[in-house]
Structure formats: C-alpha cells, structure tokens
Amino acid sequence: MTAATRRPGAPARDTEGVGRAACHHGEILQGVFLDQRRRPVHALVTLPMHGPGSTARFACRPGTPPEEVTVTPAGRTKARAAAVLAVRECAARRDAEPCGGELTLAGDLPVGLGMGSSTSDVIATVRAVADSWGVLLPAETIARLAVRAEGASDPLMHGSRPLLFAQREGRVLEVMGSALPPAVVVGCALAGGAPVDTLSLPALHHHDDDLAAYGHLRRMLRRAVTDADTALLGRVSTASARLRQRVLRHDEFPALTGIADATGAVGVQIAHSGNVAGLLFDPRAPGLHHGLRRCTRALEREGIAPTRTFTTFTSPSEESPWTNTSRKPSDART
C-alpha cells in the first residue's frame, strides 16, 4: 500500500513497511574543514559500494506506547532508537498518535570494520518506519534522525554522490559532483578483520596546520571529481589515510602503500574508524588485469586478506564484472 492510497491518520493495525540502505567502503577523505561560516567542522567523503547493505521491516502496533519497539536481532540499540524517533516524526507529519512496533533487521555487512553497518541499519529502519506510515521522508530529515540515534552518521541516505558531509551534524557541507572518478578498488581487511571500537579511539585535536592540509585536500578532491581524474583521487585518499594514522594506527599501512606502488595502483584508502581498506586502480590503465592479480597475490603474501573487488562506477542495478564475493571477513553478518 502506498502513501497515496492510505487515509490520513495512524496506520492500520499490523501495517508493515520495508526499508533498505546501502553501505560504503570507508572514506576517501576525513578530517576538519571550514564550513560556510568559516567554522571548523569534522566532515568526511565516503567511498560508496553497491551491493551489500541492510534491510529493515517494521510492523506498526497501534495503541502501544511509541517506546515499545522490539528489535530482532537483539542488541541493535541504535536502530531501535532510530525507530522510536522515526515513529514520532511520521506521526507528527500525519497528525496522529505515535505507536510502537516490531523491527526486524537483516543484512550482510561485517560489523566494526568501518563500512557504515550501524548507519545502514539506522537508515533502513527509518525508511521502513516511514513506509509503514505512508510517509516519504527527505534525506535531510533521515540524516537528522540518524545523527540523533547514533551521535554521528555517514551520508548513505543521500545516495552515492561524493559529498563532504558533517557526520556529527548530519548536514552536507559541499556537493563535490555527480560521481567519483572511475576507479577499480581491491578491498581488503586489515588486522585480520577485527572490529574496531570507535568509542575507544583517541580524540584528534586539530590545529591550524591541519585545517590548511585538509582544505588543500578538499580542493584537490573537488578538482579530481570535476576532471574525472583517478590519479588525483588516489593522491587525496592516500594523503588522508596517512594523516589518519595518528588516530587509528594500522601496522599494515606501510605494506599497503608499498603494494600500491609496486602494482600500479593510484593510491590507497582506509576506513578512518575501522579496518577495511582498499587499493585504487585506474580502469583505463594498460595492464589492469595483471595489476589486479599482482595486487591480490601481494596482499596475501603480506597476510592481508583480500575481500572484494568493485568499482566506483557500477550502478545498483548492474552486476560489476570485478565483483568477487568469494572472500568475506570472518565476522560478516548472517
């Protein structure tokens, strides 16, 4: 049943809505940047990855308190918080009493690797609640609810466009363009694919030199997107990853950059709060297939597990010829 066919007011008993959300493969750029009012703001640009993600189903239970939301599987506290917030938002838009319900989550994202698993859950949840109420929530509203539920959020609700997104405020600082430059990414898992507790990471105190460095990388990325310059994209992501080593120190980072140099990759990218990483290749470069094979073998020799190879230019409805899901981190969800 669609929003156009439902009557105003609360949803019918046991009305179920479905929501889905994609994931990302860590960040291309993350740091502190000046916003329109020249204030320093923490922000990031993610590397979208089509395919994996979260699916949420929300069944309304009219007449129950809005806080009475059960979640399966148990323990998804951020998604539950998002469901309660979304119920109140949708009820207000329908001029109706909010109610509780049952939330069921499913997905194939590894937890704690920095791929946006919690954000994917939260966005899918908000969309499922909205669907059950017959409400279409704009991306800006979903972002606001996601930040309230998580404390910080990735920009997955805005689609795959490259955005400089203030993750703690839920707002877009800049739309870089319509798409990242074309790249083939050889994904891998550092530290044996162990999850990272982001709350345990030390706070990074930025100085004026950091603002200047990240401002320069922001301009470089803007130019890379405008010119579809894959090599420049790789320079930006590598520089950002190197700066981030002050917070999340990856023992394999020197090996990763060495493999990139040896196999013709244009650079590396990492999850700035996790252990997923990737080596970026220009799909237009000669000898691409040979370089990809050499890269995979070199990673394995270093004890770094390759995970999947994907592109920045595959639409959600297309199957990439590079995709290889035969290897997945050991803590992937079921």
Give residue 5's pLDDT: 38
Residue-range definition of the domain harbouring residue 261: 177-311
Give residue 194's pLDDT: 63
Query: Does residue 21 share a domain with residue 160?
Result: yes
Query: Does residue 265 share a domain with residue 163?
Result: no
Query: Does residue 195 share a domain with residue 164?
Result: no
Give residue 7's pLDDT: 42
Question: Residues 36, 167: contact at Cβ < 8 Å?
Answer: no
Is 330 within the bounds of a domain? no
Query: Does residue 159 share a domain with residue 66?
Result: yes
Give residue 200's pLDDT: 55
CATH number at residue 55: 3.30.230.10
Query: Does residue 127 share a domain with residue 43?
Result: yes
Query: Does residue 121 share a domain with residue 109?
Result: yes
Query: Does residue 152 share a domain with residue 192?
Result: no
Give residue 128's pLDDT: 98
Q: Would you call 112 helix, strand, or coil by DSSP?
A: coil
Give residue 193's pLDDT: 63
Give residue 325's pLDDT: 35
Is 320 within the bounds of a domain? no
Is 75 within the bounds of a domain? yes
Q: CA-to-CA distance for 116 and 156, rounded, in angstroms?
A: 8
Strands 100-107 and 69-72: parallel
Query: Does residue 231 share a domain with residue 136?
Result: no
Question: Residues 172, 139: contact at Cβ < 8 Å?
Answer: no
Is 8 within the bounds of a domain? no
Boundary (domain end) residue, out of 129, 149, 173: 173
User: Tokens representing 167?
Assistant: 């993750």
Give residue 257's pLDDT: 96
Is 324 within the bounds of a domain? no
Is the previous residue joined to 73 through a cis bond, with omega within 30 degrees of 0? yes
Look at the chain and report how many structural domains it folds into: 2
Is 164 within the bounds of a domain? yes
Is 117 within the bounds of a domain? yes
Query: Does residue 165 share a domain with residue 136?
Result: yes
pTM (2 d.p.): 0.86
CATH number at residue 192: 3.30.70.890
User: Which residues of the chain carry a pLDDT beneath 50?
Assistant: 1-7, 315-334
Q: What's the per-residue H, E or C state across 136-200?
A: CCCHHHHHHHHHHHHCCCCCHHHCCCCEEEECCCCEEEEECCCCCCCCEEEEEECHHHCCCCHHH
Query: Does residue 184 share a domain with residue 298?
Result: yes
Query: Does residue 168 share a domain with residue 21?
Result: yes
Query: Does residue 99 share a domain with residue 31?
Result: yes
